Amino acid sequence: MDRTVIITGSSRGIGLETAAEFLKDGDRVVIFCRHKDHVKEATDYLRRVGDSGKILGLVGDVRRARDVKGIVARTLSAFGRIDLLVNNAGIAAYKELVELTEKEWDDILDTNLKGTFLFMREVLPIMKQQAAGVVVNVSSALGLEGESNFSAYCASKFGVIGLTQSAADETAASGVRVYAVLPWAVKTKLNADLGLGMSDSELLQPRQVAEKIFHLADGKKRSGELIRVHL
C-alpha cells in the first residue's frame, strides 16, 4: 500500500515479523536496533521477503533522544513521510522487586516506556500535519495485571497503556489513531533468556502478534483501544 512504517525493536521477534508483514504488502519499512550486525542480519532476511529498495536499516537506541530524532529525520529524508509507528522495543528482568538493581530498573523503564514516549513525541506532530497516521504501542498482558518477579516490566507496560490512552485523547480530532497491543507470552529470545521454562504450546508465535499489528494499520478501530492477543 506504499506506506512508510517505523518499527522499533525490529531486528528479531515481533518487530522483525511485523516489518515482514508490511513489506510483503508493498509498504516501506524502517528497522533498527543498537547493534549494526543485528541490523544487517534483519535486513538480509527482509530482502528475501520484499523489495530491497523499500527497506531502511539503521542503528540507534530508543533510549536516546538524539538517536530518535536522527532516525525520524533519516526516514523523512529517504521516504518523505511517516504513516505508521510501531513501538515494539522491550526488555525485561525476572526477579523479585527487592533484588532489582537501579540500573536494571532504569534500563527497562527507559527502553519500554521512555523510548515509546520519545518516538511518539517526534512522530505525532508529523502525523498531525499529514492529518493521518497510526501508532501501535506494544504493551503486554502484564500491562493490565501485575505478576510477581516482573515489577519493572509491569510498571513499564502499565505506563505504555496510560501513554497510549492519553495520546489518543490528545489527537482525537487530528486524524491520527493510537492503539496498544497486549500480547500474552511470545516465543522470542527475550522470553527464552528469562528462563521461564514455558513450552511452545504455551506461547504465541511472533507472527501472530505481527499480523494483529498489521491489521490495525487501517486505523478503523476507535483510537485508544487496547487489543489483546492470546492463544
67 to each of 47, 58, 59, 156, 210, how far by Cα in Å? 25, 10, 9, 21, 25
Give 63-68 contacts, CB < 8 A, sequence gap 24+: 63/107, 63/110, 63/111, 63/114, 63/115, 63/118, 64/118, 65/118, 68/115, 68/118, 68/119, 68/122
Q: Are 115 and 158 in contact (CB under 8 A)?
A: no
Instruction: Report the catalytic residues.
Output: 153
Q: Residue with C-alpha cell 527482509?
A: 46
Burial (CB count within 10 angstroms: exposed 0-12, middle 13-18, buried 19+), residue 191 = middle
Q: Residue with C-alpha cell 518487530?
A: 15
Rounded to the nearest 10°, the torsion over CA 151, 154, 159, 162 is -130
Report CA 209 to chain centroid distance, whole Å: 11
Phi/psi at 92 (5° precision): -155, 165
Nearest C-alpha neighbor of 185 from the set 130, 129, 140 = 140
Q: Are 171 and 128 in contact (CB under 8 A)?
A: yes
